[in-house]
Amino acid sequence: MNGFLVIFFTQQNRRHQGKMLGDWLVDLAKEMGLRGATLSTGIEGFGHTGRLHSSHFFELADQPTEIRMAITEEESERLFKRLEVEDISVFYIKTPIEMGTVGKKGSAATAS
């Protein structure tokens, strides 16, 4: 199946509607019935301003965060239409992908 890998980049301290922006995006994906979303935090990175963002022992608010979604073209259109009406600004990468599942379904498969 063809679709898109969409990756949003933000920092732990960014908030939307009272939630961390990363958590809000994951919740939005679930609310919209998208295939899934993964939130990952990074150790260090820098953005378009050149300012270094990193995780420190006492301060994790500036920690880089990525939200990844493998979605169909229709899901992508719905997601970006929804994001257009929200009062947020977030950088993203959207690239075409092939996606699917390989192997047997279920954990009860046994070898012969």
What confidence tens digit (pLDDT) does each residue in 27-57 have?
Answer: 999 999 999 999 998 766 666 666 655 555 4
Any idea which of 8-12, 39-43, 75-79, 105-109 has the lowest mean pLDDT?
105-109
Q: At what angle do helices 21-31 and 73-85 cross, to 10 degrees?
A: 130
Does residue 82 sit within a domain?
yes
Does residue 70 sit within a domain?
yes
Sign of the Cα pseudo-torsion (34, 71, 106, 23, in order):
negative
Does residue 20 sit within a domain?
yes
Residue 103: predicted pLDDT = 93
**Higher model confidence: residue 55 or residue 81?**
81
Give the distance between the most distant pair of CA atoms in the chain.
57
**Residue of 61, 64, 27, 26 whose CA lies nearest to 45:** 64
Q: What are phi and psi of 70, to 5 degrees?
A: -100, 110
pLDDT at 78 over 80: yes
Question: CA 94 to CA 68: how far, in whole Å?
Answer: 10
Question: CA 37 to CA 25: how far, in whole Å?
Answer: 8
CATH code (residue 56):
3.30.70.120
Domain of 86, in residue numbers: 2-6+16-90
Q: What mean pLDDT value characterizes the chain?
A: 85
Does residue 110 sit within a domain?
no
Does residue 27 sit within a domain?
yes
The total domain count for the chain is 1
